[in-house]
């Protein structure tokens, strides 16, 4: 009999909701809804109707116009399309870009690629809680600044940025504002009709949809436009050509519709789990919370602990599935860039564990994880040089 596994890595990816999986399976295996939505025959029109329905469902979740959405393969592609596309479109006005070192690699690496192409980057460090002081952004904006990219919810710490205030600073300066919202869409209420956001990236697999499908929101206000990265077709107004994956798009729409009705209940559930987890481990000697208790998404809890190395702790905690940082960095032994930007030492960053949980997580799972975490820390400390009595 296999050992029990407790999955607490929902920030990396979530299980596909049963209703979403059922819809996707049906569209992949039956009827004629698999048709190319670019085709003008009846089957193609039915496929196009499914795409339009999904756009409406996602637009309803975000409170935006469906025409402002472009389908992509996920948040990484959306980030690339938004940042490179906008920077290239506005480069005749200026080539100065602003972001934070605590962003996801799918933003940091894109910006570094643009830097190699002659763009100038300003990196704004967060405070020790992980939040960006709006005054820092205001002081960084210049006449040649064309794009600012700040994530809504940090993927490692769960810290929530003040997107409204940061976005308004950009809007007042006529600077495009891009938000990586991979960890926010479907989890927190977002109203793009009211928020000063120009470009917003998302992916389905962070809110109980399938991997491989995402979207990019593009505000239709004057001056907000992107150059395409791909060529070879007229789909999606030539901004992102290619045959649309109808079953995946429909699945994303279904996940968005489910999320819209569940966000309040999901948040209440996550808050309960977070409080239980924190109360269970907070008295451990040398423990430190990485994040802002007042401004954080309750589905992520990141902690460091003295005298323990994170990778060893990760292995010692099995069969509890947690992370030492973001999923994209799981093979990287370097200390977390996110935590180092918050002023954490290399030792503290290397000892960090990210717990993330979701709809299917239960109180018993948290209790199990608390016990394994404490036991693992104590066992590794006992094995460390100089720790023996």
Active-site residues: which are they? 328
What is the length of the chain? Answer: 389
Beta bridge partners of 302: 354
Two tokens, residue 350: 């290397």
Q: Max CA-CA distance within the chain?
A: 78
Quote the CA–CA distance of 84 and 101 in Å, as a whole number: 18
């Amino acid at each position: 009999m296999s050992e029990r596994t407790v999955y607490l890595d929902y920030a990396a990816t979530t299980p596909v909701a049963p209703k979403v999986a059922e819809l996707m399976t049906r569209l992949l295996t039956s009827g004629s809804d698999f048709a190319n939505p670019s085709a003008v025959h009846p089957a193609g029109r039915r496929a196009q109707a499914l795409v339009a329905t999904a756009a409406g469902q996602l637009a309803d979740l975000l409170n935006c116009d469906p025409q402002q959405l472009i389908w992509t393969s996920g948040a990484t592609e959306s980030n690339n399309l938004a940042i490179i596309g906008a920077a290239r479109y506005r480069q005749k006005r200026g080539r100065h870009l602003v972001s934070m070192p605590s962003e996801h690699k799918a933003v940091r690496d894109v910006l570094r690629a643009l830097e190699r192409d002659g763009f100038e980057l300003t990196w704004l460090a967060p405070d020790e809680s992980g939040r960006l002081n709006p005054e820092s952004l205001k002081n960084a904006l210049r006449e040649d600044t064309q794009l600012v990219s700040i994530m809504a919810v940090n993927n490692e710490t769960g810290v929530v940025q003040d997107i409204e205030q940061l976005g308004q600073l950009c809007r007042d300066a006529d600077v495009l504002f891009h938000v990586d919202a991979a960890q926010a869409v479907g989890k927190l209420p977002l109203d793009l009709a009211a928020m000063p956001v120009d470009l917003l990236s998302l992916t389905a697999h962070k809110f109980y949809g399938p991997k491989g499908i995402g979207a990019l929101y593009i505000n239709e206000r004057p001056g907000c436009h992107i150059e395409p990265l791909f060529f070879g077709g007229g789909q999606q107004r030539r901004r992102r050509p290619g045959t649309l994956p109808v079953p995946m798009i429909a699945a994303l729409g279904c996940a968005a519709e489910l999320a819209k009705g569940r966000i309040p209940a999901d948040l209440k559930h996550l808050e309960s789990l977070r409080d239980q987890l924190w109360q269970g481990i907070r008295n451990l000697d040398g423990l430190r919370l990485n994040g802002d208790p007042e401004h954080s998404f309750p589905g992520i809890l990141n902690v460091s602990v003295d005298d323990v190395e994170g990778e060893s702790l990760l292995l010692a905690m099995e069969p509890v599935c947690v992370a030492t940082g973001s999923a994209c960095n799981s093979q990287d032994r370097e200390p977390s860039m996110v935590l180092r930007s918050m002023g954490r030492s290399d030792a503290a960053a290397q000892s960090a564990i990210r717990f993330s949980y979701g709809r299917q997580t239960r109180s018993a799972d948290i209790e199990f994880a608390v016990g394994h975490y404490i036991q693992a820390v104590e066992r590794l400390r006992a094995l460390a040089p100089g720790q023996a009595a």
